[in-house]
Amino acid sequence: MNETIKSEMIKYRVQRADETIEEVNSHILNSYLHTAVNRIYYGIFYIVSALALKFNFQTKNHGQLMGWFNREFIKTKIIPEKFSKIYRWAFNNRQSGDYDDFITFTKDEIEIQFGEMKEFI
């Protein structure tokens, strides 16, 4: 991949992560908690996918991306383990919120996760 294109793609993904912070804030304020959970995950996904691109890792599989992140940055202690837990919570709850029936989230719980998402990004 051309380095200029790669740099632009990384910048775009970081921008998407930043924009997602505003989306989550809006969804929480309007009590759209399932959508907030979805966007919390995608904010993290966008920033990790930017990191993956920087390090020449490519996949379209969310689980593989998480595995790569944990292997390259958590197990090597480059990034603290708490960020793996934040990522995993976001992934699992996005899956539940999008696909399972009768799942509820509390505003307090989502506000805590929103703070962690912002720290992650």
Q: What is the tens place of the pLDDT at every residue in 76-105?
A: 999 999 999 999 999 999 999 999 999 999
Q: If you average pLDDT over residues 108-121, what whole number do you get?
A: 97
| Domains: count for the chain | 1
Return all residues near 66 (Cβ < 8 A) that are at least 6 apart: 48, 87, 88, 91
Does residue 71 contact residue 79 with C-beta atoms inside 8 Å? no
Instruction: Kindly tell me if the per-residue pLDDT of 9 is higher than 90.
Output: yes
Question: What gap in Å lies between CA 40 and CA 56, rounded to an integer?
Answer: 24
pTM over 0.75: yes
pLDDT digits (tens, 9 = 90+) for 33-69: 999 999 999 999 999 999 999 999 999 899 999 999 9
Instruction: Report the CATH number that the domain containing residue 34 is assigned in CATH.
Output: 1.20.120.330
- Give the torsion sign (CA, 61, 64, 69, 72): negative
Domain span at residue 56? Answer: 3-120
